[in-house]
Structure 1
């Protein structure tokens, strides 16, 4: 019986080639999208879910409330990492780590410099007890117990000491330089995890090495009030201990070690290890749960559209199979057998679509290469993917095929053999359903198009906004922070001597960036003390000229430690109406008295999502390591960059940095939004494609059913334009309903998107109408071509049997 079901199913699929192609194409697009998104979501959730007792491992996080602002941080004060076992009950084990940025790596025995590398970690001696590894050489017992010890990953060991056996590498010295030199002896080599992990590092240096550093104060090892995301703490709680019980002990410890001002709060929480990848991942790109949920919804919508296509077209074509059903029932077939027969046809179509979807997945991977996670790959022949596709195919068969199968199975054999379908004047649920499904399909399509138009308009608006500074022909490069060799001034002078250089400045940050540093200032106005948190930048006297800022009151600073510049927002925040009023005013910045030397125009120190905030610009060369260069007008930018890179390399032979362009940084501010626009644009294309495929098949069928009606109308004198108007009128009404629903949905999401920006466009309602007209035009083109073809048929051929 089963063999017979599939044999007949194949015959029906081959008999109706156009319908089958539309089904397969629509479903394969939906399946490929869902399959790719499933693998992306699975990949993101696969990080660090394999550790022994992983459900008992947590990261301790910090939340600070300062002056009413909330500052979450994945890090902890350094002393907490060292003392938590003494302060909190229920901790079975813990490991304290400190992540380093790009670090110079050198091999003294080979007189070899490996340049700056990422993935260098300072780890306490219990690290490998909490996160065990397979050891190639050495053992976890003593590997990190002493200062200046390092455990290398297998890959690093092979890179640092090529052609040497693991036992020969033990005892070799590696020197790391990150503001301080850290000479470390190799005490072990470990294999990388086979599974995905955020705990993969190239070098694990003993945390106690900090005690041997000359500049160890920068780690704030004794300060409970200093928090950095670099200092992170992982704990393994004892069995049967509630994490909330651990968290309840933190407030007493905070009160013991930290004295907070009124209104300020500090709290610690336990974050499950499985959540680390979604909030400040360590060694990998952080995954965004909200984005993943959005992708799943997007994939679901595309698949739903494909399923709606299937149901729509199948219920319409069910009319043509009425006589087939009548004969089957007359010969003894029951409703259950007919349902199985039609479901088997759906299953074959879904199966073919799944196979073709593999090709679409590879195309999608190529198109979305810049949007996929780093190191992401799809292993097609795994139990996970096989299980997903199998379950997916069964569910899709049932969801897409059950209603058409039930519709076909319930036909009355006597009425079906006479060619009757519904009682005259009775309500047809099939027609009602098809109209509503068409409305749903085009609602999504129009909503997608509107969102793409809104995103594109906002991004174009942002690109046209004046930033308040000159971003053209400005290049920058980072020099080593607090360079012991004091080469920054030498480098600055060598660059300044070049004929193509207009000016040069040293600062801690670009004139505009996504980083945001704040500090508290204390100002006395009419003998009243006013405290305020402001954004701050460290600059020198050339910063204004290099970036084309305007001094609107007072004068520029002259590289004196007590002189500062502020912006107009700073003046307004303190209640002054005239910038001249604040010139010469003293205030406290930290413990130092400063004087306001000048007021600059309000420029966008961060992206346009934020309002322009009060800004304080302070001269502090010790912590300024960013070199900003303004080129002369007409200078050959390519040659200028090459020459400056050469000077940098000669002065900093161990560094690998190159000059970058400021305008490129500004363009990257909205890179995520541009990606969102592109994804939405692709989704809208797919939605329109699937909807139009369905409309093409549905309109070709429904118009074919009305060829006799069209022939009679032409005999009675109807013109081609009247016939086209008659056929198109129904679809215009359906698209009108779709437009109304889509506008409401798009307005809601567009409002949420635009509200993220302090500087934004007005809601572009004209684009809403344009989107509706665009979709309506496409629909009328498809329907009109079918209707035109039918209206031009000779009525005599159509009516010759009547």
Structure 2
């Protein structure tokens, strides 16, 4: 974009070819330094690399840009060498900015050879050059005119010089082309023509010549010895020290000091003539003074660019004069913007998940809401015949598809076996969801019983390409062979449904006959509604749809047990995945909200820094405001100026922030498991950047702008301006807000860390260390007894058993349990699992009553173990030996096992029934290994599993790692909150440091007086530090109750949680005080150690 602007300004050529960058910059510079130069035919040779630009390596292109930048730099130096530093010479530094930009561009091109990060720096340089080109008004084109017109312009030019000199009009510091035209009662266009054609100058040079001559005259006059050089410059019309020095040196070749030292006082005071009275001069007729207001209104549009350039220059000078404060502001804003933009990118990525489907607004998932034992619960599992019935019964439904739970199966191709994870899906899956097919068709992908759809990743892995995979055979679990009928694009990792393959639903039906029963739930059901469907009305009809199908539902006993169906929009599943009391209650959306608030907080802290330092420095800019108001600047214009300065600083900070983000994104992606990039080409990101830029500028600059623009010019210029307590209290309030936010984040960090630590170290009721899972597959299940016997003979292995689920996650439940004395109107859902002998020994679970399953008791095949929660629900006082029937299989309770956590700590432990099943068909082998002998035990385990399962790859997992994976989100959140809390405190301390520095400078004389009167260093440090520490203490008083409430609310999401001990908040408060004290004490100590003579010598 930046290059495009430069090219359009210089020749209107296309910027599509990168090898043209160097020559274009060179010829652009040549056009500026040699206006008489014209493009020749031979110059086209510089663009020959365009013919082979497609094949040129990037490094060669950037070397070319570097060489052309150096050549352009040499053109500028040659231009300077042709000038002579004589009085009233043309500006000798007209291309200083362009020269520096060329040097930076060349260095950036060279550094890109070292790191790709400098591509961004190169882009910033080009954007800066483009902004400079836009801000500079194009040189006026001199049209040929008759000699008579030129002679007339020269004659009027002489009269104009006489009028300006006689009336001392150049002494007006705010003089512009428009205001000068008004004073001379003429049209600005005519005045501009006279200056440009008649005098061959521009307006600035024309006026500055008078000012420099006047300054030179006053330097010779002894009457002005009482004034400093800057005072003479201000009296002569300059309003800026920097502008005065620059213009004087450009026109005389010497600095003001050098020029004055070379002069002798030649004119006595009594020979000086008084200034002439103002004599209005009308250089042409036809422009009566009565039309001056209309002229001014019509020329306002042409003044705006010059005004903006003036504001831009003043802002840059203000930043340069106050380097420390500007650096603090920029660093704080840059860090705040970096964190906020990183969070924005993460939130943006989260909100876009599952929004890539054409039918997305019409897609819904069906969930079951169950009422049992007076409690409500919800589950995405539904009876699989539901998807067959819904399109038949409801005209609102376009189509429906079943979708199974993920399954890891063994794929064998050319005798090479690998584990892959996928699902079974309905035949119309690719019709409902917009999943790009690289090969095959949506209509035939999952229709045949042995069809198989695989991802691009699997197609590339096994067959080399998607096209080559079509029609190829893959054997699954060494049992059945499937034919690849479709290849789909890889599913994004952050989708709500991720898979690498899909099998037909008819195959699921064949493998899982139990799912045909309407009273069983398991697969998920998705429906597509018509675009004009009344979703609310359909939900009402769907609610009790199962009443006519589920045999467990007794219409006369709905109070004790009932099942309802309800809808959830597919696009909300990823962010709203959790349920509570039978309703959708949250999920990742909570993290999205949390970090959105954190981003706002961090940006707010950075903006408060700007407001604090800007209002604190208001005394230094009061005179500027007073002078601007006296010469006619309105309040709205002053507000615009100060907000413009905030906008410029925010823009520079945002550029720094984008560079930091480019450097931090790889680490951020690794931490969060994302694949985020800076999407500059996407419109929503660009609009968001502009929105954040404007919002931050307004937030940071609005109060300083309103405050400074409200100052009274009379009081300012009389020196009687005193700032009231209101401004001071406002700054103090902002500091309190900063530290309240920082302490909130700090307490949040401590509590999240303690909760994660509590989860990681909590006793689950069984020993998860040194416990290994091996999935049953192939011959492992059918040879379980022999496998167990062989394993127990190997060193390092303590005990062996099996479970149809995993101890860290048991998800199946049923209400089909009966016992003596049960209320027939009550339905209680029990979690259940099937295990083998020695399960308590393998898990190291504690038996509270009875015993575990034993081969010594043949009746244990009909026996049950229950947990404490189940014993309470059943109601037996002494449950061991009492009858219990489950799944219509009567038996007895042989033992009560201590409650153990078999699901997330977000949920309370539910009633659990454990039954014996040695006829293993699926599940996991559980192996307890000796501590410290894991490596040896794994080798033995792999060797024996290979004996019974030679064609399957050996796979295993550790119980402790699976448990940690359940809380991966909490660990990531804890890490991120920790980083953001540290940055928030750092940004707040930056502002406190700057404010303390300014306060110490303002009270420098007071400190000097105190030290002369005998005050010690400690008392001075205490005086300066005490004011700020009071603010921090106030922030602690406000933040701790609020943080206690917020953390208590967050912990409500866990059934088992850490305690909110009082010392947590005490630590946060002490850390805040300690950090603030360290921040302030440096400036306080520096001020206290200053020699009082230096601070009082001017008094």
Shared fold (TM-score greater than 0.5)?
Answer: yes
Match of 1:630 among 928, 940, 944: 928
After superposition, residues 575-654 of structure 1 pair within 5 angstroms as: 575=875, 581-606=878-903, 608-609=905-906, 611-621=908-918, 622=920, 625-632=923-930, 635-654=932-951
**Larger helix proportion of the pair:** 2
Structural mapping, 1:406-555, within 5 Å: 406-422=706-722, 427-462=724-759, 465-480=762-777, 486-513=782-809, 515=811, 517=813, 520-525=816-821, 532-555=828-851
296, 318, 322: which one aligns with 1:16: 322
Which residue is equivalent to 2:518?
A: 224
Mapping 1:661-672, distance limit 5 Å: 661-668=958-965, 670-672=967-969
2:423, 2:502 within 8 Å by CA — same for their partners in 1?
yes
**Is 1:255 aligned to residue 543 of structure 2?**
no
Higher mean C-alpha displacement, 654-663 vs 381-390: 654-663
Is the aligned partner of 1:161 residue 2:463? yes
Unaligned runs of 5+ in 1: none
Distance 1:499 1:195 in 2: 41
Match of 1:396 in 2: 696
Distance 2:598 2:474 in 1: 49
Residues in 2 aligned to 1:79 and 1:467: alpha-carbon distance in whole angstroms: 38
Cα pair distance change 1:430/1:342, threshold 3 Å: same
Q: Is the 8 A contact 2:766 2:900 kept in 1?
A: yes
- SS of 1:538's equivalent in the other structure is strand
Q: Distance in 2 between matches of 1:528 and 1:193?
A: 48
1:683: how far off? 1.9
Asked if 2 retains the 8 angstrom alpha-carbon contact of 1:522 and 1:529, the reply is no
Q: More deviation in 671-680 or 408-417? A: 671-680
1:338 aligns with 2:638: yes
1:303: how far off?
0.7
Contact 1:225 1:258 in 2 (8 A): yes
| Structure 2 residue corresponding to 1:73, chosen from 360, 379, 398 | 379
Structure number with bigger Rg = 2
Q: How many angstroms apart in 1 are the aligned matches of 2:364 and 2:1054?
A: 35
Q: Does 1:208 align with 2:506?
A: yes
Among residues 416, 421, 425, which one is paired with 1:118 in the alignment? 421
**Is 2:2 the counterpart of 1:2?**
no
Cα distance between partner residues in 1 of 2:810 and 2:1087: 60
**C-alpha distance after superposition, 1:561-615 (max 9, x if no partner):** 11222344444444555xxx32221111120111122233444445555555543
How does the TM-score come out when normalised to structure 1?
0.89
After superposition, what is the alpha-carbon deviation per residue over 1:12-60, rounded to whole angstroms, capped at 9, x for unaligned?
A: 1121111111111111112112212222222222234343343233333
Query: What is the total number of aligned residue pairs between the two structures?
Result: 776
3-state DSSP class of the match of 1:119? Answer: strand
Task: Mark the runs of 5 or more structure 2 residues left unpaired by the alignment.
Answer: 1-306, 579-585
Distance 1:741 1:338, change over 3 A: same
Structure 2 partner of 1:796: 1093
The answer to whether the 8 A contact 1:562-1:594 is kept is yes
* Match 2:1061 to one of 755, 764, 789: 764
Q: Pick closer, same or farther for the CA change 1:771–1:511 going to 2, 3 Å.
A: same
The answer on 1:86 being equivalent to 2:388 is no
Take 1:141 and 1:611, find their aligned partners in 2: how far apart are those partners?
45
Per-residue Cα deviation, 1:215-234 (whole angstroms, up to 9, x for no partner): 3414x23x222222x33222
Structure 1 stretch 20-29 or stretch 260-269: which is displaced more? Answer: 260-269
Structure 1 counterpart of 2:527: 234
Q: 1:304 is matched with which residue: 595, 601, 604?
A: 604
Q: Could you report, residue by residue, the CA deviation over 1:506-541 in whole angstroms, capped at 9, with x for unpaired residues?
A: 123444447575655322159999864444332223
- Whether 1:365 aligns to 2:660 is no
Q: Residue 644 and residue 243 in structure 1: after superposition, are their counterparts in 2 closer, same or farther (change >3 A)?
A: same
Distance 1:692 1:61, change over 3 A: same
Q: CA deviation at 1:392?
A: 1.4
Contact 1:60/1:235, CA 8 A, preserved across alignment:
no
Matched with 2:537 is 245
Alpha-carbon contact 2:802-2:923 (below 8 Å) kept: yes
Inter-CA distance 659–99: structure 2 relative to 1 (3 Å threshold): closer
SS in 2 for 1:394: helix
CA distance in 2 between counterparts of 1:224 and 1:528 reads 21
Paired with 1:438 and 1:35, the residues of 2 have a C-alpha distance of: 24
**Alignment correspondent of 2:123:** none
What is the rounded CA distance, in whole Å, between the counterparts of 1:764 and 1:504 in structure 2? 42
Separation of aligned partners in 2, 1:429 and 1:529: 70
User: Cα 1:632–1:343, aligned 2, differ >3 Å: closer, same or farther?
Assistant: closer
The alpha-carbon deviation at position 350 of structure 1 amounts to 0.8
CA RMSD in angstroms comes to: 3.2
Contact 1:442 1:691 in 2 (8 A): yes
Instruction: State TM-score, norm by structure 2.
Output: 0.66
Change (3 A) 1:133 1:693: closer
**Counterpart of 1:769 in 2: which secondary structure?**
helix
Q: Distance in 2 between matches of 1:52 and 1:759?
A: 42
Contact 1:524 1:530 in 2 (8 A): no
Distance 2:443 2:547 in 1: 36
CA offset at residue 498 of structure 1?
Answer: 0.3
Residue from 650, 673, 685 that aligns with 2:982 = 685
Partner of 2:368: 62
Say if 1:13 and 1:369 are closer, same or farther in 2 by CA, change over 3 A: same
C-alpha contact 1:62 1:268 (8 A) present in aligned 2: yes
1:780–1:209: structure 2 CA closer, same or farther, 3 Å change rule? closer
d(CA) in 1 for partners of 2:961, 2:1067: 32
Instruction: Tell me: higher relative CO, structure 1 or 2? Use CA pairs within 8 A at least 6 residues apart.
Output: 1
Contact 1:565-1:617 within 8 A present in 2 as well: yes
Alignment match, 2:650: 350
Q: For residue 667 of structure 1, report the CA deviation from its aligned partner.
A: 4.5
1:295 to 595, 610, 619: 595
Matched, 1:735 2:1027: no
Partner of 2:103: none
Change (3 A) 1:461 1:280: closer
